[in-house]
Amino acid sequence: MSIVRRVFYSIIRIFAKLIFTIFYRDHGAFHRENFPRDDGTPILFIAAPHGNFLMDAITIFVACPRQMYFLSAKSNFNYPIFGTIITILGCIPVTRPQDVERVNGDGLVKVIDEGKMVTGEGLGKILQVGDTLYVEFEGPNNNEMLKEASGTVEEIMNDDLVRIKEPDIPTTYSYTHMPPNSEVYSAVYNHFSKSQCVAIFPEGTSHDNEHMLSLKYGCAVMSLGYLASKEPDAFGKERKLKLVPCGLNFFNRHRFRSRVFVDVGHPIEIEQRLVDLYRSGGEGKRQACQELLKTIQTSLTELTVNAPDYNTLLF
């Protein structure tokens, strides 16, 4: 991080602390001793649940003593002031499917096999696994109101058939291509290689649920992908990485003078067995990501309150 960015980072952090102190009557971090000391090992901070892209980022920003780079939706960079700030701070833009311009498809498609397949001329040629397919269909009683549903393409069966789950009627369609993540991973690996810290909200979207959503594979892929490389880091040393789960606990998140605290979990050391399994590719790579993601999910669950109210906690 350049001197200019270090100074700017410090100024923004002081300003963020001031805002936090005004808005929340009580805030802080539990188990701060779990924040690793700066021993040259890069860290991936993994925080959940993700309720608001701004307040959640500020919460981690204020609580963590280490300088870090946040992954942020590319659309956030379009805000006039906020976008400039996160650009100077070196945040890493992530293009999500909903940020990609939707393309209208030619002709009609039909969903068959009890909603498991979508067929249409040339559909398999223009779509890829991971793309989002949108279909429109008539509402109840054949009224003029159109309903829309979307789903992720799971498998390309042939040139005219893809596997997905949608309604079983002829319908118009549109789609978005799943943006490649190679640039995001490359940016993250670059920070890791320089022994820097990166922060991510692995649910992939903000929400108001009382419990965490299922975590996306990105945090597991970027962790194992970095360690799986046999190249040394920027200092010529063997690659290392620690994962630090952070539970975000808000009490009346949007209410003025409410409370918030971050519960910092024990750092997760990634087993060499998982790294070797990831290197094997194919099913081994998938299994390694699933195991690591399960470990992360378990850690975050232990650090957060996944219940709608106090009575639920009392059974």
Whole-structure pTM value = 0.80
167 and 256 inside one domain: no
Asked which of 154-158, 168-172, 234-238 is least confident by mean pLDDT, the reply is 168-172
**224-238 mean pLDDT:** 95
Q: Within this chain, do residues 233 and 265 fall inside the same structural domain, yes or no?
A: yes
Of the two residues 129 and 47, the one the predictor is more confident about is 47
Using DSSP bridges, classify how beta strands 161-163 and 268-269 pair: parallel, antiparallel or unpaired.
unpaired
Q: Which 8-state DSSP code applies to residue 58?
A: H
Sheet harboring 146-152: ordered strands across?
Answer: 103-104, 173-176, 132-138, 146-152
* pLDDT tens sequence across 234-266: 999 999 999 999 999 888 777 888 888 899 999
Q: Which of 161, 176, 191 is the last residue of a domain?
A: 176
Q: What is the pLDDT of residue 138?
A: 57
For the ranges 39-53, 161-175, 250-264, the one whose mean pLDDT is highest: 39-53
Summarised one tens digit per residue, pLDDT across range 104-120 is 888 788 877 766 788 88
Domain contains 16: no
Are 173 and 105 a contacting pair, CB within 8 Å? yes
Q: Are residues 90 and 130 in the same domain?
A: no
Helix, strand, coil content of the chain in percent (nearest 5): 35, 25, 40
CATH number at residue 284: 3.40.1130.10
Give the chain's mean pLDDT. 85
Query: Do residues 147 and 45 both lie within one domain?
Result: no
| Dist CA 266 CA 193 (whole Å) | 22
What's residue 206's pLDDT? 81
Q: How many domains does the chain have?
A: 2
In a domain, 191, yes or no: yes
Do residues 229 and 248 both lie within one domain?
Answer: yes
| Amino acid 167: pLDDT | 43
Q: In this structure, are 121 and 169 located in the same domain?
A: yes
- Looking at the structure, tell me whether residues 188 and 272 fall in a common domain: yes
pLDDT of amino acid 147: 63
SS3 for 157?
strand
Shared domain for 263 and 194, answered yes or no, is yes
Based on the domain organization, do 81 and 197 belong to the same domain?
yes
CA angle 135, 123, 104 (to 5 degrees): 50
What pLDDT score was predicted for residue 124? 84
- Calculate the alpha carbon distances from 131 to 98, 161, 175 in Å: 11, 14, 7
Contact (Cβ atoms closer than 8 angstroms) between residue 23 and residue 256: yes
- Same domain membership, residue 150 and residue 254: no
Cα separation of 264 and 261, whole Å? 10
The encoded tokens of residue 184 equal 């995001």
In 67-201, DSSP assigns E strands to: 68-73, 92-94, 103-104, 109-112, 117-119, 132-138, 146-152, 155-158, 161-163, 170-171, 173-176, 197-200
In a domain, 152, yes or no: yes
The predicted model gives 10-32 an average pLDDT of 89
Domain that holds residue 106: 101-176
Do 85 and 106 fall within a single domain? Answer: no
CB-based contacts of 79-85 (< 8 A; 24+ apart in sequence) = 82/54, 85/12
Backbone angles phi, psi at 159, to 5 degrees: -60, -25
Q: What is the pLDDT of residue 271?
A: 96
Task: Note whether residue 61 is domain-resident.
Answer: yes
What was the pLDDT predicted at 133? Answer: 81
Same domain, 82 and 141: no
Residue that finishes a domain, picked among 133, 157, 176: 176
Residue 13 lies in a domain: no
The CATH code of the domain that includes 109 is 2.40.30
Question: Cα 84 vs. chain centroid, distance in angstroms?
Answer: 21
Tokens, residue 65:
């003593």
Domain boundary among 146, 176, 206: 176
Distance CA 244, CA 46 (A): 6
Residue 165 has pLDDT above 50, yes or no: no
> Is residue 30 within a helix (H) or strand (E), and if so which, with residue range?
strand 24-30
Residue 276 lies in a domain: yes
What is the pLDDT, as a whole number, of residue 28?
84
The residue type found at 48 is A
Q: Is the pLDDT of residue 47 over 70?
A: yes
Name the amino acid, one letter, at 49: P
Q: Which pLDDT does position 118 carry in this prediction?
A: 82
